[in-house]
């Protein structure tokens, strides 16, 4: 799956969940579709902005999250080979 699409879904779902929980506990009413859609858009945009500011850490974070949520990662075996990277060091 594309990293940006996964980032949009993860960030939007996270902020939507937090917004729904806060409106349910603080205001004692169920959240509306309008507020959930607003929170999803805000969360997805914020997560994409964070991905742009921290490209190396966000790509490794998304690779880790995709590894957790895919069934293939549980069934496949990982080798312990050392990967040699050639080129400019990424600090």
Task: Convert the pLDDT of each residue in 65-76 to its tens digit.
Answer: 677 666 554 555
Residue 44 belongs to domain spanning: 1-52
Question: Which pTM was predicted?
Answer: 0.59
Residue 82 lies in a domain: no
Residue 72 lies in a domain: no
Residue 58 lies in a domain: no
Task: Convert the pLDDT of each residue in 17-74 to its tens digit.
Answer: 999 999 989 988 898 999 999 999 999 999 888 877 776 766 677 677 677 666 554 5
Distance in angstroms (rounded) separating the CA atoms of residues 44 and 7: 7
Q: What is the pLDDT of residue 37?
A: 94
Distance in angstroms (rounded) separating the CA atoms of residues 83 and 48: 29
Q: What is the pLDDT of residue 25?
A: 92
Number of domains in the chain: 1
Residue 29 lies in a domain: yes
DSSP string, 67-90: HHH-SHHHHSPPP-PPPP--SS--
Q: What is the pLDDT of residue 15?
A: 93
Q: What is the pLDDT of residue 73?
A: 46
């Amino acid at each position: 799956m594309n990293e940006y699409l996964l980032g949009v879904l993860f960030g939007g779902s996270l902020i939507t969940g937090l917004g729904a929980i806060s409106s349910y506990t603080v205001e004692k009413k169920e959240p509306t579709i309008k507020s959930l859609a607003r929170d999803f858009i805000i969360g997805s945009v914020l997560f994409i902005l964070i991905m742009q500011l921290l490209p190396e850490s966000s790509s490794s974070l998304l690779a880790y999250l995709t590894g957790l949520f895919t069934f293939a990662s549980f069934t496949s075996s990982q080798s312990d080979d050392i990967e040699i990277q050639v080129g400019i060091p990424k600090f």
